[in-house]
Structure 1
Amino acid sequence: MNRLLLRTRARVRDAAKPLTEAAVGALTVGLLRATRYFDPIKTANFFGRVTRLIGPRLREDRIGRDNLKAAFPEKSPEAIETILAGVWDNLGRIGAEFAHLDHVWDYDTDHPEQSRVEIEQRTHELFARLRLDGKPALIFASHLGNWELPALAAVAHGLDAAILYRRPNIESVDRAIERMRAVKMGTLIPAGRDAPLKLAEALRQGQHVAMLVDQYLTGGVEVSFFGRKTRANPMLARLLRQVECPIHGVRIIRLPNHRFRAELSEEVKPVRDASGQIDIAGTMQAVTTVIEGWIREYPEQWLWLHRRWR
């Protein structure tokens, strides 16, 4: 009897799944479209307040708190809660800003003091080198600040970029998001079995390949992150084995008064084994160490809500 009941429940759940996904998809697409009609700054403030209110009621809030306690055992419970509130606020703001991707990048080279984004001189120098040296490059980012903006910055300033991204599971949401991202984000390559081949080909053609590299990957290479072992996606280092080129990190940090700061890291030197070949795990550790340093500066702007350690 119990087996029959379980099978019946499973069938009902499977039958309802397409309807549920369709409803969620329609709601998400409708929300994104509606958000475009409102002032982006006021909407970001509102979304930030909403996620700060709703976030603590979700399962991910506990995950985030556990992660923060593991990463910062020296911090008080009050400090942990302050960081976590900032995480939810940042996530809400990203959602609002995503709806305005086609015009959220605001940097005027002639009048930088009037721009919403600030860029320091060293980043200008590094970016110019990437754009003009005639070489491909690998660029990594993390879920820090607004992680959608680096791709906009690259295209806005003339960098030929190919961006690896993960498609949402719901098809209607995927189509809507892809249309938004395609406006000013360069070549978009969805994650999948053929993604490494497409990314390697982009490098061979001289493009700059960018990807997020800070989430746990089952079967990935072992790295140390905040003093604890975890696993990182080795794709960046494996691509480097095929096409040797410079590696840089990029982050766009949220500043007060609705501003951002865009930064390129110095070149990250790959680690090599005794034979001179790219060491996959060692190179991913070098990249992970850069990201950890970023997060320690702005812990409230990183996405602590996924299980980085297993």
Structure 2
Amino acid sequence: MTPRERLTDIGHYLSNGVLRVLGAVLRILPYSRRLRVGSWIGRNLMMRLPTARQRVQANLNLIFPDMSDADRNRLFQGVGDNFGRVMVEEMMMADVIADPSRFRATGAGLEALISAQTEGRGAILVSAHYGNWEGARASALGHGLQIAGVYRTHNNPYYNADFVAALRTLGPDAFSKGRQGTRELVRHLRSGGVAEILVDQKQTGAPLIEFLGQPAETTLTAAKLALSMDIPLIPVISFRADDGESFDSVFAEPVPHTDQETMMRAVNDQLSTWIAQKPEQWFWFHRRWR
């Protein structure tokens, strides 16, 4: 390890250490108060970081160019509130799912998912960084279903280890994006497993498909896998309820099997419709559009 690499490693270790200390302190508090602390951090600290604020501002200018300043400020506060709550929930996922009543699930897609599992077939859920996207996986547990997570490996290896451990609180299977992870995901699906893939981030070089009314480079992987294995492709979203602590996961009807781009266009349309209902719950921090 070079001196530069060693310094980077130390920085990663210390930054993750700060998060672990914060998590330990928060666990002293009652559950509801932990989330309120997270909300305060999100609204008053995270949303004041210049990079985060500029990214959110640029995305809102693109999607909502005519939004009033008052509505924009309310949306900023809502984005910060949800972001801070998710940050806390990811630190203590075991506590989040300890109360099954926090997670509700509805929709024709849920019945299709249960039917596929009864038949021994796999399925792919497609969702977005919205509300808390682990809500869909948590709500499925109440129906006796385990859904694998698919994630992008974080640069900080110490944080990544904690992040993957949190994912596995909801089920033993979690697959990283990349060649090896994709092979493992394919085996999982072919053996009758279910996985959730978040498809709302830019994939450079992918086809341009409208998302929230603007062309966005959209991965076709989920549709490709569904077609190649003849398994359902089910859009799902997990709305954070007004209490700030519980979630309503909505499973839409499976997307008809046609071609990859047509299927992902249907997915983007459905996700866009859901996001428009409560836009403050989407992660506007992404570089989603060119």
TM-score by length of 2: 0.90
Query: What residue in structure 2 maps to residue 3 of structure 1?
Result: none
Query: What residue in structure 2 maps to residue 176 of structure 1?
Result: 162
Q: Percent identity?
A: 25
Q: Which runs of 5 or more residues in structure 1 are unaligned?
A: 1-10, 109-114, 273-278
Rounded Cα–Cα distance in structure 1 between residues aligned with 2:107 and 2:251: 10
Q: Which amino acid aligns with 1:222?
A: L
Query: How many residues are treated as equivalent by the alignment?
Result: 287
Rounded Cα–Cα distance in structure 1 between residues aligned with 2:144 and 2:187: 20
The alpha-carbon distance between structure 1 residues 142 and 203, as it changes in their structure 2 partners (threshold 3 A), is same
Q: Secondary structure at the match of 1:211?
A: strand
Q: CA RMSD in A?
A: 2.3
| Alignment of structure 1 residues 133-282 onto 2, 5 Å | 133-257=119-243, 258-270=245-257, 272=258, 279-282=259-262
Query: What residue in structure 1 maps to residue 20 of structure 2?
Result: 29
The alpha-carbon distance between structure 1 residues 13 and 121, as it changes in their structure 2 partners (threshold 3 A), is closer
Tell me by how many angstroms 1:207 deviates.
Answer: 0.9
User: Which piece of structure 1 moves more, 30-39 or 209-218?
Assistant: 30-39
Tell me by how many angstroms 1:32 deviates.
Answer: 2.9
The match for 1:104 among 88, 96, 103 is 96
Q: Secondary structure at the match of 1:250?
A: strand
Q: Secondary structure at the match of 1:220?
A: coil
Rounded Cα–Cα distance in structure 2 between residues aligned with 1:288 and 1:121: 18
- Of structures 1 and 2, the larger Rg is shown by 1
Tell me by how many angstroms 1:156 deviates.
Answer: 4.2
User: Which piece of structure 1 moves more, 125-134 or 92-101?
Assistant: 125-134
Rounded Cα–Cα distance in structure 2 between residues aligned with 1:49 and 1:301: 16
Tell me by how many angstroms 1:265 deviates.
Answer: 1.0
Q: Secondary structure at the match of 2:210?
A: strand
Q: Secondary structure at the match of 1:219?
A: coil
Q: Which runs of 5 or more residues in structure 2 are unaligned?
A: none
Q: Which amino acid aligns with 2:21?
A: G
Query: What residue in structure 2 maps to residue 297 of structure 1?
Result: 277
Query: What residue in structure 2 maps to residue 53 of structure 1?
Result: 44
Tell me by how many angstroms 1:131 deviates.
Answer: 3.7
Q: Is the 8 A contact 1:163 1:189 kept in 2?
A: yes
Q: Which amino acid aligns with 1:287?
A: V
Rounded Cα–Cα distance in structure 2 between residues aligned with 1:14 and 1:121: 49
| Alignment of structure 1 residues 103-122 onto 2, 5 Å | 103-105=95-97, 115-120=101-106
Structure having greater relative contact order (Cα 8 Å, sep ≥ 6): 2
The match for 1:286 among 266, 272, 278 is 266
The alpha-carbon distance between structure 1 residues 185 and 153, as it changes in their structure 2 partners (threshold 3 A), is farther
Give CA-to-partner distance per residue, 1:206-251, whole Å, 9 cap, x none: 1112111110111222211222211012211221232111111122
The match for 1:83 among 50, 75, 83 is 75
Tell me by how many angstroms 1:142 deviates.
Answer: 0.5
The alpha-carbon distance between structure 1 residues 282 and 119, as it changes in their structure 2 partners (threshold 3 A), is closer
Q: Which amino acid aligns with 1:297?
A: Q
Q: Is the 8 A contact 2:123 2:226 kept in 1?
A: no
1:129 aligns with 2:115: yes
Rounded Cα–Cα distance in structure 2 between residues aligned with 1:121 and 1:240: 20
Q: Is the 8 A contact 1:117 1:262 kept in 2?
A: yes
Query: What residue in structure 1 maps to residue 87 of structure 2?
Result: 95
TM-score by length of 1: 0.84
